[in-house]
Amino acid sequence: MLSKQQIKDINRLKQKKYRYQEGLFIVEGIKSIKDFLKSDYRLHTLYSTVDLFSTKDENCEIISEKDLARISSYKKPQVGLGVFRIMDEPMPKPSKLSLILSDINDPGNLGTLIRLCDWFGIRNIYCSKKTVDPYNPKVVQASMGSLSRVKLFYTDLKSLMKKQELPVYGAVMDGEPIYRKKLPENALLVIGNEANGIADELYPNIDHRISIPQFTSSHGAESLNAAMAGSILISEFRRRSFKG
């Protein structure tokens, strides 16, 4: 049975302040927990209603469904909740195809973009400091375990982009249609904020402005969200270099 203090401490991790104060974050869902257990992330504590995860770690507690409901973010909790340690890794120099995110606010969009990068083999994402925290429970949930394989680095994007040798492509509404554009195998792809697009200070360091053309009249959808746009653009980059 979980104590009141344990429940309080776990629930605190749903807030960014306490996540970084304690260096811990929450992972829920059977698949996601298993992915993190196989990754470089270190397990702090695993709470489960059944012995399902086949881990020999001593910090595993079997708890009741009632206790799991007290600490879960899900309306219908699955069988477990893992608390993992936040990793602090040195930021590598961008290489191959990498994603740059300018002030992405929506946790669902960020989680989906992480999942897309995992699918398309993009291992590093470089984020502005205003981009939503990757350990936000909604981001972790939306990434479906992909956060265990894709690394995110939060930095001054203007400074980062100035130093790049790779070509930089920015997704904008009035850019050249991507279907006409010759795309390299290695590049930096910049995706902007859901409402305001790419931050103004980054534009001088964008080499190519690209867009996704609209095929309907002016009465159609006004725009695509960041995750939708990202899926189309990343797919186009990978399609051009596909050798399978």
CATH of domain 97-240: 3.40.1280.10
Of 86, 135, 85, 95, the C-alpha closest to 114 is 135
Task: Supply 77's token pair.
Answer: 């909790």
How far CA 102 is from CA of 2, 8, 93, 222, in Å, comes to 40, 34, 18, 20
CATH 3.30.1330.30 residue window(s) in the chain = 4-85
Q: How far apart are CA 136 and CA 19, in angstroms?
A: 9
| pLDDT tens digits along 17-34 | 999 999 999 999 999 999
**19 close to 86: Cβ distance less than 8 angstroms:** yes
Average pLDDT score over residue span 204-220? 87
Confidence (pTM): 0.94
| pLDDT tens digits along 161-211 | 999 899 999 999 999 999 999 999 999 999 999 899 999 999 999 999 999
Share of the chain above pLDDT 90, in %: 83
Q: How far apart are CA 99 and CA 169, in angstroms?
A: 10
CATH 3.30.1330.30 is the classification of domain 4-85: yes
Question: DSSP string covering 204-219, please?
Answer: GG-SEEEE----S-TT
CATH 3.40.1280.10 residue window(s) in the chain = 97-240
